[in-house]
Amino acid sequence: MNDSHHFLREAIYAELAKPFPEQSMKIRHVPVRAASGPDIYAEWKRRQPKPA
C-alpha cells in the first residue's frame, strides 16, 4: 500500500470516529433490493444452518 492510501484510510477513519453530528460526511442507509426477485438477505438467512 502506498502512502496516499495510508493517508486516505486514516483520514476516513478519523472522520468516522467523530460523533454523527460532527461528521462532514452524510451517512445514509440505502437498502439494495432487486426490483423483482427474492430478498437476497432473507434468502441467505433462510439457508443458514439451524443451531443445534
pLDDT of residue 2: 64
> For residues 30, 31, 36 and 38, what is the CA-based torsion angle, rounded to 10 degrees?
170
Identify the sign of the CA torsion 16, 20, 21, 25.
positive
Burial category of 32 from C-beta neighbours within 10 Å (exposed 0-12, middle 13-18, buried 19 and up): exposed
1-52 pLDDT tens trace? 566 777 789 988 999 999 988 999 887 887 777 677 778 888 889 999 988 7
Tell me if the pTM is above 0.85: no
pLDDT of residue 39: 81
47, 39 in Cβ contact below 8 A? no
Please enumerate in sequence order all residues whose Cβ is within 8 A of that of 18, keeping only pairs 6 or more positions apart, or say none.
none
pLDDT of residue 48: 94
